Amino acid sequence: MQIFSPSADTWLRAGIAALVVAVFAAGLVAAGYADSTYATQVGWAKDQDVPFSHRHHVGELGIDCRYCHATVETSADAGLPATHVCMTCHSQLWTGAPMLAPVRASLAQHRPLRWHRIAQVPDYVYFNHSIHVQRGVPCVECHGRVDTMPLTWRAKPFQMQFCLDCHRDPAKHLRPPEQVTRIDWASWSPQMRQTYGSAALRRYHIDTGELDNCEICHR
Amino acid sequence: MSAPGDPAGVDAALRRLGASQGRQYWRSLEELFETAEFRRRIAAEFPALARMPTDIDRRSFFQCLAAAVALAGLDGCERRADEDAYPLVLADRDSQPGMVRHYATAWELDGVGQPVVGTCRDGRPIKLEGNPDHPASGGKTDAFTQAALLGLYDPARSGGPLRDGAPATWDGFGAVALAAREWFDASGGTGFALLTGPVQSPTLLRQIAGMRARWPGMAWHVHAPMAEGPAALDGMPPLDTIDVLVCLDADPLGNGPLQTWHAQGWSARRRAFQQGDGAARLLVAEPTPTLTGVTAEARLIAPHSRIAALAAALGARLGVAEGASQPLDAKERAWIEQATDALQASRGRGLLCVGPQHGPELRMLGSRINASLGNQAVASRSRPQPSGDLAALHRAIGLGGVHTLLILDSNPCYASPDAAGFTAALKRVPLTIHAGLHHDETGQACRWHLPLAHLLESWSDVCCADGSAGLVQPLVRPFLDVRTRHQVLALLTDGEVPAHDLVRQTWPGDEVQWQSRLLKGFVAEAAIPPAEPTASVAAPRSAAPQPGDALEIVFRPDPTVHDGAFASNPWLQEMPKPLTKLTWDNAVHIAPALAEELGIANEDLVEVSAAGRSIVGPAWIVPGQHARTVLLHLGYGRRAGGPVALGSGFDAYPLRSPSSLWARGDGTLRKLSGTRALACTQTHWALGGHDWIRTVDAPGEALPRKEEQKSFFPPQPREKPENGASPPPAWGMAIDLDLCIGCNACAVACVAENNVPMVGREQVAKGREMHWLRIDRYYEGTPDEPRQSFQPVPCMHCEDAPCETGCPVNATVHSPDGLNLQVYNRCIGTRTCSAYCPYKVRRFNWLDYTREAAPALVAQRNPDVTVRDRGVMEKCTYCIQRIAEARIAADKEGRPIADGEVVTACQQACPTQAIVFGDLTQADSAVGKRKASGRDYALLEDANTRPRTTYGAKIEGGGKGAG
Amino acid sequence: MSRNATYRRVTREVVTISTRFPAPRMWWAMFAVSLALFGLLLVSVVVLFARGPGVWGNNIPVGWGFPICNYIWWIGIGHAGTLISAMLLLLNQSWRNSLNRFAEAMTLFALTCGGLYPILHLGRPWYFYWMAPYPNTMDVWPQFKSPLTWDFFAVLTYLLVSLLFWYIGIVPDLASARDRARKRRWQVFFGVLALGWRGQGRHWLRWKQAYTITAAIAVPLVVSVHSEISMLFAAGPIPGWNSTVFPAYFVLGAAFSGFAVVTIIAVVLRHMLKLEDLVTERHLDLLGRMTLATGMMTAYGYVMEAFDALYAGGYELDTLQDRYGGYYAWSYWGALLFNFVPLQLLWWRRWRVSPIPVFLIALSVVVGMWMERFMLLVTTLYRDWLDSSVNLYHPTFWDWSLFIGFIGLFCCELLLFVRFLPVISAFEIKEDLADG
């Protein structure tokens, strides 16, 4: 009496093959997820209590980053603007605009505004804005073209490899410090930037071989 | 702007680059801090430390912490939790996020001011350091001062007034105070008694004087349980001028309010001696080991009752006739001869120092001997005379002469010989008011309990060890509903007055002067002069020698919780006691001989009784203690004062006799059945011929060099990088065992700086304490008279580190500047590194030690140091966060890191400057000099790990006579 | 009786075990106990993950306690299986045929237990895969200098190869089981596992090649795996570990404990499944000799270790004295006692061939070898260089529960195997009969 149909063997082989494929596929899916924008939050605009538009303030009005993020040059944190910084203008402009109601309320009741953080690294990563800015790493390298963002989103995947890519070869990312906050700066050809970058590395005695050591970011 | 592809743009940029110093774009924090205008603003800035921002900071801090915990060891494939940010509403340049500010202030222990500089980050005080400008601190601190910060955040502190144990309001008390005031004004204050701790604060004295003038009928009592203790040696000449110090049962280097002051002086002299300048001799006679005793070159083990005889003998030999001196045995005679010879050899530069607990008569004899040798006098500082002490108050209550009692920052219902009796007596006082940090034993016995503000959040002033007055300014606006001690008194005299004004009134002078004083943190000109000791203080007599087999019971303040004031401070509770390495408990200290005689082993329960009263506690055998002496540490067995304070140790106060507080000769000891497990961090301590502790005979002498062993590891990179950069620094540490007195300051400082979690008695008993820096204690010689040595052991940062070979995931690696890094977020907890570590300095988070911390404690944490999660290895990092800070600051200014710019927490705290840290590539650096010395040696050279942390050998003796 | 008759009997005895199990009551009793212990394992793991490694007695300095100790013990036990089947196969030792099947199975199951321990003992087990080299968003790779990384590969390889070797070997018997199965579900069960084996010449040819090649791969593993595990100790600078004798010492100890376990299983199965005339006295005899041989070699390891310490002196000598007279001396003398004293009986054939004594001797060896692992690990760690860091290690309830739980898991696996798969390589025995 026959237990298995003649095709059983084929099925078995197919099954085994499928199993192998499935294992590899699973790996690929995991890897894909790790780099997906869902995991890295790249390009996911967040709703804020106050729908602040960098496109309007930076792109159209051309306000310098440092006007609001005042401590970016002196402190580890770039800092979010205090309410009264917003009100320096908005006590004159759009004084009645409903979308600014929370700002006025904040000032009136002395209660801080709440912002959902966009650019955010884990707490065991100690990123210091001041030294990066001082060395000529432009804002746009990590924060992207905020001047095109109506609501702000994360422009780069803040994964370790993203940091390392730059730390291992900083030259082509560097600019003259006075150009650091120029989001749309494109005056130089890649070669020129390379030339400048290598010069800057020499000037600052930066040994790129040491920039990717653990203690540079982790304490 | 340059057109696309315009090479001129590049050239211009390159030129600018060549010229750019980095500074032209902004100024460094230090520079900012230096300007007088900035300093003035800081001084005027306190309103900016408003509660609101503080809370915001704290809230966001929780969120960061929560995130840190949630994300610890984050791999690429997890979505991060969302996080919110709350910027300030009104920001000025000083309240920028992440900005660090330093304020000179002070806190008080036993009425002695401890000048400090508080480090505030985002409005939170996160660290205390000594005030470098202040002579009494010189930038150094002791263990208590380091731990005082945690006292500020103590979750057990009482947060609001209580009336009969029920929540009340300050206004409610204000009404009571008003009524009382009118009554006192009418009656002249008769029936009103004020009980305080030891008071030296000028403002407090001014207020009390004012009250006594206004209400002549009132009585002011002072209860100072630790005054007249062996370490209460104020008014001593600075020790850096003393070539020969002879201590009769005195402990100037011991843990106490004056430790920093004395240890500094002693260390200055000792370091001079190391350089071949003069002598630094120390001879001690004492019943039980103290930090001073084990540091001494000649230590005589003499019972408390023999000290008088020894003093007499000294006097006799030095021609200060003191009747017929009792006969001495051989050892005593030898020591006396050594001491007298030494003192005579260096007349005018020696000092005989008698433990205050031996009473004024003996101290007078001491001063006479010093005078005869032309030495500087040991004088206790003159204090305004109170109406009496606690006993007097107790009597007065008994006579029904007290109807209103205000107890200010004192705990007589616990810290007094007859606490029970006094507690009962309080019932007979119609109105009792207690003001203190905790709702402690006294608070519970009183009608009203008023929460005091911690000094670190108060306006006040203190009197420091050197007699100079220190100003106290708040590091943070109080986050509880509390008042300062001055405000409480003012409530009685005038009603609500701002704390600042009360202190300001004490100090004449215009605003500029006031501001400059605040910046310095002290008032140099207002020094309180020393005076001859006055017998009017209740004079404890030495216990009369007892016939037969009675034991001598000696009482000492506990080296970690002191008189019990720190019982709710985990940092101190878990800090191993310098000489026994016990944590979380006190014990009945007995000599090995006595233990053998009575068949007692460690942890056996014993009963100590005297004059009908007795206490029960676990025994602990202490080598080097006098055979017939039993030592009890005060400060344990608290009955109130917070969960941490409860349930540790036994209360030894009841055994004290009011007539002789520090020793009694009529003790008996009985072994009971049963044991109590004690958490001891070092169970083995015999040096057993190993060379872990090395010694030389004279300052100049060098240790025998061992030849360099072969190693498979590549040598550490020291050559110049090809791109012309300066070589990376090679960080290293040198610890001079000749200067270490084992005081624990470094260990507590490390805990405070690096968010080291406290794990509790059970975990410590399992061998899981988390201290990154432990202080090993070794014995040599016989158990009865051993030589003791201390050895602080942090991570050695080996150049050829075995731990790095072991880790499978690269979580512990070597940095170019020679640090042995531990990357918490990469660590998976295989513990191989610890298994391979010859020094066993690594610590592992066996359980979750950090997530459950109370919010207040979380607020204390240093935001520059990662909070470690469960299952992660950790260890000393050479304070890498401080290195990184210095590196970035230096880079921004385009200069190398200067020597002394990076100071580790342990180094900064160490009162004897035994620890030095720095860059080994700079030959002239402080650490370079130490390592060049012939006394420098590496621990466990046989392990061939080439440690970056090395030790300086101890020097036998202290030089012959005066140099 | 005629040769065919014998063939049929062999087949019946072996292959029909699973379908008509001779000792169901005994089996159920044993299985119930094992299952209960396995449950204990699950509980212990839940508690461990909920509260962290702090539930164990580990501390500083004894950062490794039971977990690593038992890990080494289990992996060691596994070795005999491969040794017997692969090595003896290549050496044409036909007597192995009655033992190899369950010996291999035993290897497999011991590895599952041993392999899980290092993962459980991690502080953050959920990141165990960081030990594997794979492209990741952190741009970080494992540290290939570390013995633990070698471990990871060694154990993984060993697991895969043993699995392959065991499965290839069992295929023909699965086929005959399939053919003799009456019930439909058994036919399908064995049928699927048999991969459509029809016993054609081509099949046998391929099978022979595959089996021999896998054996050739497996043999070096016997030596390499435990040598590597010994590096876990030998690579550290700790007195008592840092010794060149360790690899050989560990491998021989492994084989020693392994043969003991095989003996135990052989005796039990022989009795439970009435296999007296397949697992004969001859087999017990040979097993006894192997155990004796490897045991004496292990003893030599002890001597060498002592010699090394005496020769080196210093801290090494301290550690040796600590082993003889220290707090954990019981583990040293216990190891000597249980490992080598009863063992001496095996010099006499009379003892080797009598099941009960052999069983007891083997049992004592298993205990002794565990004590040796404990001694090597704990007495070395609890007191290494500085006396100031000395700390005693006391295993807690959860240490023991995990340990016993794993034994439960092992027995469960073994019993299921016995119940449902051919425990003895019937066709190889038939080959054997055919040849001789």
Cβ atoms within 10 Å of B765's Cβ, excluding its own:
17
Cβ atoms within 10 Å of A22's Cβ, excluding its own:
10
Mind telling me how many Å the CA of B681 is from chain C's nearest CA? 8
- Over residues A105-154, the pLDDT tens digits come to 998 988 888 898 888 888 899 999 999 999 899 999 999 999 999 999 99
**Long-range pairs for B710-717: beta carbons < 8 A, 24 or more residues apart:** B711/B800, B711/B944, B711/B946, B713/B799, B713/B800, B713/B946, B715/B799, B716/B799, B716/B818, B716/B946, B717/B816
* Angle subtended by helix axes C3-15 and C147-180, to nearest 10: 120
Residue B530 lies in a domain: no
pLDDT the model gives residue C98: 77
Which letter, b or e, does each residue of A31-48 get, where b requires 16 or more Cβ atoms within 10 Å of its Cβ?
Answer: beebbeeebbbbeeeeee
Inform me whether the pLDDT recorded for B322 exceeds 70: no
Inform me whether the pLDDT recorded for B624 exceeds 80: yes
Q: Which residue has the tokens 């009985």?
A: B670
What is the H or E stretch that residue C267 is in? helix C246-272
Q: Which of B76, B777, B836 sits opposite C137 (nearest CB)?
A: B76
Which residues have C-beta within 8 Å of that of residue B328, sequence separation ≥ 6?
Answer: B309, B310, B313, B336
Inform me whether the pLDDT recorded for C16 exceeds 90: no
What is the H or E stretch that residue A10 is in? helix A8-35
Burial class (CB in 10 A: 0-12, 13-18, 19+), B651: buried
Domain boundary among B434, B466, B497: B497
C242: Cα separation from own chain's centroid? 25
Torsion of CA C41, C43, C49, C53, to 10 degrees: -60
Which residues have C-beta within 8 Å of that of residue C70, sequence separation ≥ 6?
Answer: C114, C117, C370, C373, C403, C406
Is residue B729 located within the same domain as residue B859?
A: yes
- Over residues A182-215, the pLDDT tens digits come to 888 888 888 888 888 888 888 888 888 888 889 9
Q: Bridge partners of B671? A: B606
Inform me whether the pLDDT recorded for C192 exceeds 60: yes
Chain A CB contacts of B13 under 8 Å are 176, 196
Residue B412 lies in a domain: yes
Q: How far apart are CA C431 and CA C12, in angstroms?
A: 16
Instruction: Quote the number of domains for chain B.
Output: 5
Nearest CA in chain B to C150: B808
Is residue B762 located within the same domain as residue B844?
A: yes
Which among B293, B415, B353, B365 is positioned nearest to B661, based on CA atoms?
B415
Inform me whether the pLDDT recorded for C380 exceeds 60: yes
Which residues have C-beta within 8 Å of that of residue A209, sequence separation ≥ 6?
Answer: B721
Is residue B314 located within the same domain as residue B389?
A: no
| Mean pLDDT of the region C316-344 | 92
Sign of CA dihedral A90, A96, A100, A101: positive
Which chains does chain A touch, 3 or more C-beta pairs < 8 A? B, C
Q: Which residue has the tokens 């002051």?
A: B261
- CB of B253 within 8 A of CB of B934? no
Which among B30, B19, B20, B14 is positioned nearest to B888, based on CA atoms?
B30
Mind telling me how many Å the CA of B296 is from chain C's nearest CA? 23
pLDDT the model gives residue A96: 85
Predicted confidence band at C284 (pLDDT cuts at 50, 70, 90)? confident
Is residue B315 located within the same domain as residue B194?
A: no
Is residue B277 located within the same domain as residue B312?
A: yes
| Mean pLDDT of the region C410-419 | 90
Chain C CB contacts of A3 under 8 Å are 178, 184, 187-188, 191
Q: How far apart are CA B572 and CA B151, in angstroms?
A: 10
- CB of C233 within 8 A of CB of C246? yes
pLDDT the model gives residue B672: 92
Q: Which residue has the tokens 């002069």?
A: B529
Predicted confidence band at B532 (pLDDT cuts at 50, 70, 90)? very low
Domain residue ranges of chain C, discontinuous segments joined by +? 11-435
Residue B346 sits at φ, ψ, to 5 deg, of -125, 65
pLDDT the model gives residue A2: 73
C-alpha atoms less than 13 angstroms from C-alpha of B159 in its C-beta half-sphere: 7
Q: By residue range, what is the domain housing residue B19? A: 7-74
As given in the structure block, the two tokens for residue C226 are 């435990």
pLDDT the model gives residue B699: 87
pLDDT the model gives residue B277: 87
Q: Which residue has the tokens 């192995």?
A: C96
Q: Which residue has the tokens 């440092």?
A: A66
Which one-letter amino acid corresponds to residue B534? T
Inform me whether the pLDDT recorded for B39 exceeds 60: no
Residue B54 lies in a domain: yes
What is the H or E stretch that residue B835 is in? helix B832-836
As given in the structure block, the two tokens for residue C49 are 């993950």
DSSP B822: E
Is residue B924 located within the same domain as residue B858?
A: yes
Inform me whether the pLDDT recorded for B467 exceeds 70: yes
DSSP B464: B
Predicted confidence band at B835 (pLDDT cuts at 50, 70, 90)? very high
Q: Which of C60, C123, C314 sits opposite B840 (nearest CB)?
A: C60
CA angle B288, B289, B291 (to 5 degrees): 140
Is residue B428 located within the same domain as residue B560?
A: no
Q: Which of C58, C123, C237 sits opposite B943 (nearest CB)?
A: C237
* Angle subtended by helix axes C314-325 and C281-312, to nearest 10: 130
The SS3 of residue B288 is coil
Is residue B394 located within the same domain as residue B489?
A: yes
Inform me whether the pLDDT recorded for B33 exceeds 60: no
Inform me whether the pLDDT recorded for B41 exceeds 50: no
Inform me whether the pLDDT recorded for B431 exceeds 50: yes
Q: How far apart are CA B365 and CA B350, in angstroms?
A: 16
> Looking at the complex, does the CB of residue A217 fall below 8 Å from at least one CB of chain B?
no
Q: Bridge partners of B52? A: none
Residue B85 lies in a domain: no
Task: Kindly provide the residue ranges of all beta strands, DSSP E only, lying in A75-165, ordered along the sequence.
Answer: 115-116
Residue C81 to residues A21, B649, C99, C101, Cα–Cα distance (Å): 32, 57, 9, 9
Inform me whether the pLDDT recorded for B50 exceeds 60: no
Q: Which of A35, A39, A196 sits opposite B13 (nearest CB)?
A: A196
Q: Which chain A residues have any C-beta within 8 angstroms of a chain C C-beta?
A: 3-4, 8-9, 12, 31, 34-35, 157, 159-161, 164
pLDDT the model gives residue B661: 87
Mind telling me how many Å the CA of B820 is from chain A's nearest CA? 10
Mind telling me how many Å the CA of C28 is from chain B's nearest CA? 39
Which among C13, C81, C72 is positioned nearest to C230, based on CA atoms?
C72
Burial class (CB in 10 A: 0-12, 13-18, 19+), A146: buried
Which residues have C-beta within 8 Å of that of residue B246, sequence separation ≥ 6?
Answer: B283, B284, B314, B339, B342, B343, B350, B351, B352, B353
pLDDT the model gives residue B659: 81
Which among B230, B280, B287, B282 is positioned nearest to B254, based on CA atoms?
B230
Q: How far apart are CA B344 and CA B331, in angstroms?
A: 20
User: What's the pTM?
Assistant: 0.89
- What ipTM, to 2 d.p.? 0.90
pLDDT the model gives residue B548: 61
Count of residues for chain C? 436
pLDDT the model gives residue B688: 78
Cβ atoms within 10 Å of B724's Cβ, excluding its own:
9
Q: Do B768 and C142 touch (CB under 8 A)?
A: no
Mind telling me how many Å the CA of C172 is from chain A's nearest CA? 16
Task: Kindly provide the residue ranges of all beta strands, DSSP E only, lying in B700-819, ordered along the sequence.
Answer: 731-736, 774-780, 787-793, 812-814
Which among B743, B959, B857 is positioned nearest to B264, based on CA atoms?
B743
Inform me whether the pLDDT recorded for B824 exceeds 90: yes
Residue B103 lies in a domain: no
Q: Which of C58, C62, C149 sits opposite B808 (nearest CB)?
A: C149
Domain boundary among B32, B57, B74: B74
Q: What is the mean pLDDT of chain C?
A: 88
Is residue B752 located within the same domain as residue B885?
A: yes
CA angle B875, B881, B882 (to 5 degrees): 115
Between residues C83 and B438, the one the model is more confident about: B438
- Over residues B683-707, the pLDDT tens digits come to 888 887 888 999 998 888 888 887 7
Which one-letter amino acid corresponds to residue C37? L
Read out DSSP for C187-243? HHHHHHHTTT----HHHHHHHHHHHHHHHHHHHHHHHHHHHHHHHHHHTS--TTT--
| Mean pLDDT of the region B93-97 | 65
Is residue B34 located within the same domain as residue B49?
A: yes
Residue B344 lies in a domain: yes
Q: Which of B77, B826, B840 sits opposite C61 (nearest CB)?
A: B840
Q: Which residue has the tokens 């509403």?
A: B89
Q: Bridge partners of B617? A: B606
Is residue B749 located within the same domain as residue B808?
A: yes
Which among B3, A210, A202, B20 is positioned nearest to A194, based on CA atoms?
A202
Inform me whether the pLDDT recorded for B285 exceeds 90: yes
pLDDT > 70: what percent of chain B?
A: 86
As given in the structure block, the two tokens for residue B290 are 């103290």
Q: What is the mean pLDDT of chain B?
A: 84
- Over residues A156-172, the pLDDT tens digits come to 988 899 999 999 999 88
Residue B97 lies in a domain: no
> Looking at the complex, does the CB of residue A63 fall below 8 Å from at least one CB of chain B?
no
Chain B CB contacts of C235 under 8 Å are 805-806, 836
- CB of B3 within 8 A of CB of A187? yes
Residue B472 lies in a domain: no
Mind telling me how many Å the CA of B31 is from chain A's nearest CA? 12
> What does CATH list as the number for C11-435?
1.20.1630.10
Inform me whether the pLDDT recorded for C104 exceeds 90: no
Domain boundary among B24, B55, B74: B74
Is residue B352 located within the same domain as residue B393?
A: no
Inform me whether the pLDDT recorded for B829 exceeds 90: yes
